Amino acid sequence: MTTISVALGARSYDVRIEPGLLARAGEVLAPLSRGRPMPIVTDTNLAAHCETLVASLAAAGVSAPVLTLPAGESTKSWAQLEALTDWLLAQGVVRSDHVIALGGGVIGDLVGFATSILKRGCNFVQIPTTLLAQVDSSVGGKTAINSKAGKNLIGAFHQPAVVLIDPQVLDTLPQRELRAGYAEVAKYGLIDDAGFFAWCEGNAAALFAGDPQARAHAIGHSVAAKARIVAADERETTGTRALLNLGHTFGHALEAETGFSDKLLHGEAVAAGMALAFAFSAEQGLCPAEDAARVAAHLRAVGLPDGLAAAGVTADGATLVGHMLHDKKMEGSTLPFLLARAIGRTYLDKTVDLEKVAAFLDGQTA
Ligand code: GLY
């Protein structure tokens, strides 16, 4: 078992990573339950994993009522938040109880937010079942639902009590979702770890083929990177945590243009966005052109979009910049961008001229 600590003082917690951990979750979680039930919230795609978890908890003497919500982004809504909090109250949950989020980013975000407000805050456990949730959203305490005005606009920072990651659950994840999650793995290399990006180039094929060691290494390394960044800047106030948004500003424009739909998954938009951030940096003379080409080549090699055309976006620069202006990262009239000096050397730039961005994007579609 690999254990990575997220060092946040009184809110510190462990992320435990081990193949087969889902079936052993009961023995790990029983001490937290202190004889109380541990309600599980999951989605309609995860019946088999949920059965494994319930059986494991039962074997450890922990009862676990289950709420199964519809799979998909629309579950991050006020309506499902109300249904979930009503159900938790009906279960008699008290503040010292632990609610288990078994699922991808949607379930993790919703349960995290619900438990941040239930009885003014109770505990929760993350058991992420997608690669994206394992390497990004389950760690760091960002929780939210969507509103009519945009994604993740209603939420709270609420850290889990523990995160249990079983890389084996990825065996049943659709390849497209695995690829989308992989964008966030490669991201950690691009941010500040050129050596890890080189590892990704050499080992992505094994990871996609199901090699357990490649998967465990990718997940462990990513979680360790995220834990380090979150410990340095839990609430994204100093700019360190903002590095995790590499590719997200360009990506947000692509997601908005494709209607936040299955046409372009979040991780796919992040991949195209990272390629665009590097290409823009190269065009501005900030980063070697060969680094931008290497980023695009790797994303292409694993089947991720490496720019506008591959993401299926034909909109002009002004339209895409218009979408960026609705990004929640806007600070007044300024939009902070993550740009690159090289692979492994990204930085936050709050002085980017949006007209230059629009002209660059026009050049991408020309
Ligand atoms: N997913 C970005 C963050 O956790 O800050």
pLDDT score, position 46: 98
pLDDT score, position 149: 84
Query: What is the mean predicted confidence (pLDDT) over 346-362?
Result: 95
**Pocket of ligand 1 contains residue 140 by CB under 6 Å:** yes
Q: How much distance in Å is there from the Cα of 131 to the middle of ligand 1?
A: 14
Q: What is the residue with the minimal CA distance to atom 2 of ligand 1? A: 244
DSSP letter for each residue of 89-157: HHTT--TT-EEEEEESHHHHHHHHHHHHHGGG--EEEEEE-SHHIIIIITSS-EEEEEETTEEEEEEEE
Query: What is the mean predicted confidence (pLDDT) over 292-314?
Result: 97
Q: How much distance in Å is there from the Cα of 263 to the middle of ligand 1?
A: 23
pLDDT score, position 123: 98
The DSSP symbol for 265 reads: -
Output the CA–CA distances (angstroms, integers) from residue 324 to 96, 121, 255, 329, in the order listed.
41, 33, 10, 9
Residue type at 327? Answer: D
Q: How do residues 4-20 score in pLDDT, each as one tens digit?
A: 999 999 999 999 999 99
**Pocket of ligand 1 contains residue 244 by CB under 6 Å:** yes
pLDDT at 203 exceeding the cut of 90: yes
Whether the Cβ atoms of residue 254 and residue 273 lie closer than 8 Å to each other? yes
pLDDT at 329 exceeding the cut of 80: no
**Pocket of ligand 1 contains residue 234 by CB under 6 Å:** no
Q: How do residues 40-68 score in pLDDT, each as one tens digit?
A: 999 999 999 999 999 999 999 999 999 99
pLDDT at 366 exceeding the cut of 90: no
pLDDT score, position 28: 97
R_g of the chain, CA atoms, integer Å = 20
Give 182's pLDDT tier (boundaries 50, 70, 90): very high
248 is catalytic: yes
Cβ of 344: how many Cβ atoms within 10 Å? 18
The DSSP symbol for 9 reads: G
Residues in CB range of 16: below 8 A, 6 or more apart: 1, 2, 3, 28, 162, 163, 164, 165
The DSSP symbol for 315 reads: -
pLDDT score, position 330: 78
- Sign for the CA dihedral angle at 262, 263, 267, 269 comes to negative
Of all residues in the chain, the percent with pLDDT exceeding 70 is 100
pLDDT score, position 281: 98
pLDDT score, position 253: 95
Residue of 24, 98, 248, 298 marked catalytic: 248
| Mean per-residue pLDDT over the chain, rounded | 96
pLDDT at 219 exceeding the cut of 90: yes
pLDDT at 103 exceeding the cut of 80: yes
Nearest atom in ligand 1 to 244's CA: 2
Helix axes 266-283, 289-301, angle to 10 degrees: 160
27 is catalytic: no
Q: How much distance in Å is there from the Cα of 354 to the middle of ligand 1?
A: 24
Beta-bridge mates of residue 43: 69
pLDDT at 316 exceeding the cut of 90: yes
d(CA 247, CA 329) in angstroms, rounded, equals 13
Of all residues in the chain, the percent with pLDDT exceeding 90 is 94
Structural domains in the chain, CATH included, are 2-171 (3.40.50.1970), 175-365 (1.20.1090.10)
pLDDT score, position 365: 78
d(CA 127, CA 72) in angstroms, rounded, equals 17
pLDDT score, position 327: 78
Whole-model pTM: value is 0.96
pLDDT at 334 exceeding the cut of 90: no
